[in-house]
Amino acid sequence: MPLWKQAAVSILLLFIGLCSWIYLSPGAGQTLIGMGVPQALVALVSSGEAEGPGGGQAPQGNARQAQGQGQGGQNQGGQRRGSQAILVATQPVTIGTVNDRLGAIGDGEAIEAVTVMPQTSGMISEILVASGQSVKKGDVIARLDREEQLILRDLAAVALRSAREKAESYRNLQSFSRLDVLDAKIAEEQAQLQLTTAELNLKRRDIVAPIDGMIGIIGVSVGDNVTNSSAIVSLDNRTQLLIDFWAPERFAVAVKPGMPVEATSVARPGQTFSGEVEAVDNRVDEASRTIRIRARIDNPDDVLRAGMSFNVVMRFAGDRYPAVNPLAVQWDGEGSFVWQIVDAKSVKTRVRIIQRNSDQILVDAPLKDGDIVAVEGLQRVREGGAVEVAGAEKVPSEEVATR
């Protein structure tokens, strides 16, 4: 069969099926009109092809009735399409806080730390401590050779004894003038000063701990010649540690001495050390726009060491702002805004972004906790337009009619 005959037969069969559907289904005409088929064509098919029980054409009244029903359906459908609410997804507004937490990396140092050096030159003759040992203030760490100082002390002691006896004799005997007695007294005092100086020089041959603390690695050995600039050992009092860290300048006024801090160390995972702010610097660094803060933490179990790095955290009251879903924020020529849903109507509310987070955006806007904003289906939303919230419970039609 030629191709044109096949096309003609197909069109004829399709036309017959369409007429049968219109005849058997009362609402077929309205459906076709709703799909965009011209009303005149539907009325023609209904009046011209639909046959009555006797095989003749249907009465013109029925056709006009169907046409009227079609027009009524179109008007009713058009009215529904004109007033149809836009379906949107919504989320409530929450309240978020900004600038409520300060986190920084700092370095720890012992609350007291000294490098012990001799007060004079000499040779190390004895070392009395070991690395890692705890010492008290005044304990002898090492000694220098001291034979010469011992001799000078003994000589000064002999000179003092001689001066005392001479002065005593001058005071008891009447044959000496008052001036001679005075000279003898002065000589006694000079001898006493010489003995004191000799004893001081002898004492300086002992290298003592200036503070309580822990001995570090000893840097000298017995027999080494040292001077008053030679480092013998480092001594740390680490019962408490000082942590220096830098904070952004916006916290310069908020941070005060005595405020609590929390510190964690990589060397002690899962353990938090509490402390307080020791001091705040008096100026902001112009290059980094940060301010130096010093905190003090306790180390009662001696588990921390000077030089460790710490993650320091401080908490503040912060500033509270409305928080919305990132999808809710839209932009136009005037800036950012959100669609606020009020009484099933969309209201454009201007916002100013304060802080962006992965799950929310803090904004400065006239929004309260619990206000509803649209987050999806925003393409067709217009100012003052009717909206339908997805998942919201619908009001029954009987109740709507009663209203």
Q: Which two tokens stand for residue 300?
A: 């009662």
pLDDT in tens, 349-387: 999 999 888 889 999 999 999 999 999 988 889 999 999
Sequence-distant (≥ 6) Cβ neighbours of residue 184 within 8 angstroms: 163, 166, 167, 169, 170, 171
Q: What token pair was written down for 151?
A: 């001799």
pLDDT at 75 over 90: no
Please indicate whether residue 298 or residue 177 has the higher confidence score (pLDDT). Answer: 298
Q: For the segment 46-65, what is each residue's pLDDT rounded down to a tens digit?
A: 554 434 333 444 434 443 44
What's the rounded Cα separation, in Å, for the pair 159 and 186? 13
319, two tokens: 């500033």
Q: What is the pLDDT of residue 375?
A: 93
Mean pLDDT, residues 80-92 taken together: 76
* Domain 86-97+320-402 -> CATH class: mainly beta
pLDDT higher than 80, residue 292: yes
Token digits for 355? 């802080």
Q: What's the average model confidence in pLDDT over 224-233?
A: 92
The pLDDT of residue 48 is 43
Q: Cα–Cα distances in Å, from 239 out to 112, 124, 269? A: 9, 30, 20
Helix axes 60-82 and 39-49, enclosed angle (nearest 10): 150
The predicted-structure confidence for 129-175, as pLDDT tens digits, reads as follows 999 899 999 999 999 999 999 999 999 999 999 988 888 888 777 66
Instruction: Enumerate the domain spans of the chain.
Output: 3-73, 86-97+320-402, 103-107+232-318, 121-226
Cβ distance 245 to 293 under 8 Å? yes
Superfamily of domain covering 103-107+232-318: Efflux pump adaptor protein, beta barrel domain (2.40.30.170)
